[in-house]
Structure 1
Amino acid sequence: MDLIKVNQEKCIKCGICAEVCPTGTIGLDENGPKAIEPFCIACGHCVAICPTAALDNAKAPLVNQISLKKVPVLDEDMAAIFLRSRRSVRKFKRKVVARESIQQLLNIARFAPTSSNSQGVSYLVIDDSQTLSSITAVIVDYWEEEALKQPPWSETPYAAHLKAHIANYRKTGRDVILRDAPCLIIPIVDKNLTVGKDNTYYSLAYAELYAPSIGLGTCITGFFDGCAASGYKPLLEILKLPENMQVTGGLMAGYPKYTYQRLVDRNPLQVIWR
């Protein structure tokens, strides 16, 4: 494969593409940049950084990249407000989320950074109310019958809190697991992808930050995650995953029932300099 192509009329031989290449795939000689190593991770840095659009990469084609010259950049105050305004939403409107909106959300999540551009995160999306209720029921069973009866969960300060949640569910039927969210997004990765969980967290962070721009609220599914990670068979029977895939997280999604009015505070910043 002819990995690197260079438009000699445009190339100014600045060498920036070689400098930013994370794997040392690109070198530079009197004719400009060229591939000197076969290990390209298709990150697209070389194409994206070229000041004259002279370089193309077969694994990250120039035609698929978008120019940043006309894209506005948030100033520091707006960026800070944008990041701080993310909230975990646990109260949702009883309104179905269009699948097109979830598709739009996850289409942004796929651009999150991944280890060595390994990517590899797929998504199982469940928006059937009966299936969601079944998932809540088996997760309650897991925490009540297994997890909270043995270390480490039985010895944590959260044990009493979790037991109270379960008691509330048993008494009222209130969904304390998925919070009556109309949609559950479940990232899945190949069992052999050792960085799959890390990649998942990055993608979910992107999804959470983007969600409010299309009117959605989200929340990480802690109870679900713990149950899935344990390999609890009743849950896996509902999910019906391909044999080679495993769950690496979960995200509730829906339209927020309420709107937050203020930015909350956090613990003071702690930094150690050396």
Structure 2
Amino acid sequence: MKKIVAIITPYKKNGKINWLGLTFLINFHIYNKTDKILMLGTTGESHVFNIRDFVNLILFIKKFYFKFLFSINQNNLKIIYYKYYLLKTNNINLVLLSLPYYVLPNKISIYNYFKKLKKFGIKTIFYNIPKRTGIYISFLLYNKLINKKYVFYIKNSFNNVKNSLILKNKKLFLLSGEDTNLYFCKKILYSGTISVYNNVFPKMFNNINNKFIYFVKQFNYDINPVLIKNLIKKIFSIKINFVLLFGIEKFFFTQSQI
């Protein structure tokens, strides 16, 4: 399976982005052969980033010769369009997109939403997460979006057998959206995974994932980025102690990333 990491954005104590720490994390994933890096893809990041930080992040990743994509999770359509424009003008051609929460759950409004975004010429990974948006997409609407090439990929967090088999039959790039269902997704032959968990052990991700999640469940932890942010903070604080001569300082993660 293709491995896309939802990379965690490191911060300083004053709430500013820790660019040196981010450089360290990106190089860590490049070294460990992660396939792509998703920016602003962990819980609480995309929708709280102001435009200045968003632009700075786009400009910052240009120095890395690697494949990046961005997550957009907004309710303001003007901001969504503006971000698409910024990404397109900076040669970012892949976006992970969820539905604005206020969009009425009818076929016409959702269809028009994707139709307008198609004009930017950026391929969209549709983040299908009904438990968050409250919107369940019908297969009739899926057919229209796929046939019109408004959607090329689906990050699917609605992993039941019927849903997955029908979408797989459409010859889409179907990506796992829930790490707890990775074993199921392998059996259904998903194309890959977008995961916050492979922030920790990207080389061994596929091998350790199921055991790691079993361990997490035993201690009744929530399956969300808070656990991973705390764990990776411990791991990298140990590693950083050995590379202080290179100027890497301690960095921080938060759930809301504010």
Q: Same fold (TM over 0.5)?
A: no
Higher helix share: 2
Q: TM-score, normalised by structure 2?
A: 0.21
Q: Which has the larger radius of gyration?
A: 1
Structure with greater contact order relative to length (CA < 8 Å, sep ≥ 6): 2
